[in-house]
Amino acid sequence: MLAGKTIMITGASSGIGEAAARLFTAEGAHVVLMARRAERLRNLTAELVVGGASALAVPGDVTSSEAVRHTVAEAVRHFGRLDAAFNNAGWGTAGLALHETPDELYHRIMAVNVLGVWNCLRHQIPVMLEQESGGSIVNTSSIAGQFATGAVAPYVAAKHAVLGLTKAAAADYGERRIRVNALVAGSIRTPLLEENLEILGLSADTPDPRAVQRRFGEPEEVARAAAWLCSDLSSFVTGAAVPVDGGYSAI
């Protein structure tokens, strides 16, 4: 499904990003992995390479335009092209009402979730425009991009914004061979989810009561959806907000 494709993944050192790195390389992709935690990222990349995968670690922070530009340039320098991108880096928290949320927290959440996706799109799209085959971009949003889920208000706003950027980019480049979609991820069993459950005093073993499947999702389940959107199998899909939420949005 992804054999021979060069794919950039952000937030790749753990959770959904790590699962995507493992799945994409198993499918035969060359992956360029970006995350802030350099040691974790390099350890993951080394493990993948020892296992026969084609992987490159480029530590960096998506809130820095220059860091993202460098990562995209490294992808082209090492593999000659950029076929797809999974813009997955994100961060948020819970347990604060809007009026209790400090300005610094608002700016951090907006920087990681919105500016980070913006930086990725700004630097990935020009490379894809130069390729006859174009490319496919997948942004990670959340059920918080469609509902007030209990996450802090800036996170809800930021994930709504990711859907807006996705639709705008899809409309801008639909006739220029670039597809842009978003994943609406539900409650996925990641380190970030576990942190937020602890803040809220909830158990990591208690299923999400609104999800039809009555369970948390696993990072690999989101990675599979991202793989499909990055592949040519989804060639007539763009501007979509694809739910991977165990049925949360069904009721």
Catalytic positions, please? 155
**The 54-57 sheet, strands edge to edge:** 54-57, 30-34, 6-10, 84-87, 135-142, 178-185, 241-244
Q: Which residue has the tokens 């696993």?
A: 218
* 236 CB neighbour count, 10 Å cutoff: 6
Query: What is the three-class DSSP state of 242?
Result: strand
Q: How far apart are CA 64 and CA 74, in angstroms?
A: 16
DSSP string, 207-232: PPSSSTT-S-B-HHHHHHHHHHHHSG
